[in-house]
Amino acid sequence: MPFIVFLVVVIVLISTTIRIVSEACAMVVERLGRFHTVWRPGIHFLIPFADRIAKRINLKEQVADFPPQPVITKDNVTMRIDSVVFFVITDPKLYAYGVENPIAAIENLTATTLRNIIGSMDLDTTLTSRDEINTQMRSLLDVATDPWGIKVNRVELKNILPPEAIREAMEKQMKAEREKREAITLAEGKKEAAIQTAQGNKEATILNAEADKKKTILAAEAQKEKEIQEAEGRAQAILSVQRAEAEGIRLLKEAGADDAVLRIRSLETFAKVSNGKATKIIIPSDIQNMAGLLSSLKETLVSPSAPVTDSAPEAKTSSSSTSDAPEEVNGNEEV
């Protein structure tokens, strides 16, 4: 029986003296009422009745979600803001002996710091400066919690709750802003459509003008080509007529035509000229000689038995006598 009691006492002592510290944990050990050491992860031995575990500490990063705190902005608007603080314990001894309730201390410190920062901003700046507020709070809280063995990694504002009247005014303002942007967008769309329409009309007018210009140029070139062709045709006709006349003269010369034939041809030409629209005709002095020649030819045709040698001198004499009269009046006669 005494052996069993002794064995039980030994087991109890062993169970109370051996301690195993888990990972990411720490234990603050006091000996005889005073701080002795900090146990890190591993196995440790506790002296019975002398050593005592004062505090078990979690070394993981922790999250403290604080309820909404009333704050007042620079323009005297009261709102409620709730925040979240991410922190980690870096010194278990300071955390155990630095402050009585570290979480409550962080909450109060967060509220006062938040009031100080928001008090220097107006409502619009507060609503649009979350990052700036988070950065300032993290910096101030980290400095303030160093003596407590706590490092603040991040501070986030979860919700910013302005009063109901302010929210309604903000909603109306946002609605008006949206309607304004809608009106501006519609006006810009109509403006762009009008510009595009005007641009299209301008380009169409330019294209029509260019088409009319090309059409006019082509018509002028066609008219020019037509006139050139007509002029070349007339010139070719005149050239052909002149060539025919020259060929006729050449043939007459080759045929050995005498002066009588030439004068008859001149008379035919004069007859053609007199049939025109001219009001004044200049008759050459040789026309009377041709008239005498015609009379001689007539007498020859009427009297075929008469000798040609007798009539020819008479025609020549008549022609000479008739040709002398016009020569006395400068060789020309006007009719």
Cβ–Cβ < 8 Å for 141, 94: no
CB count in 10 Å sphere of residue 146 = 15
pTM of the model: 0.51
Does the structure show a pLDDT above 60 at 41? yes
Instruction: Give the separation between CA 46 and CA 37, rounded to whole angstroms.
Output: 11
pLDDT at residue 299, rounded to an integer: 57
Instruction: Give the separation between CA 27 and CA 294, rounded to whole angstroms.
Output: 167
pLDDT at residue 5, rounded to an integer: 78
Mean pLDDT score across all residues of the chain: 79
* 246-255 pLDDT per residue, tens: 787 777 677 6
Q: Read off the pLDDT of each residue in 58-66 and give the average, rounded to a whole number.
A: 91
Q: Using CB atoms within 10 A of its CB, is residue 287 exposed (0-12), middle (13-18) or buried (19+)?
A: middle
- Structure tokens given for 319: 């022609």
* 211-235 pLDDT per residue, tens: 999 999 999 999 999 889 888 888 8
Does the structure show a pLDDT above 60 at 264? yes
27: nearest Cα among 59, 46, 55: 55
DSSP string of 272-313?
HHHTSS-S--EEETHHHHHHHHHHHHHHHHH-TTS-HHHHHH
pLDDT bracket for residue 158 (50, 70, 90): confident
* 280-307 pLDDT per residue, tens: 555 555 555 555 555 555 555 555 444 4
Contacts of 314 (CB under 8 A, 6+ apart): 296, 299
137: nearest Cα among 108, 119, 117: 117
Residue pointed to by tokens 């986030």: 156
63 phi and psi angles, rounded to 5 deg: -120, 130
Residue pointed to by tokens 């070139």: 221
Beta strands in the chain (DSSP E): 18-21, 25-31, 34-39, 42-45, 51-58, 62-65, 69-72, 78-89, 150-161, 282-284, 332-334
3 state DSSP class of 84: strand
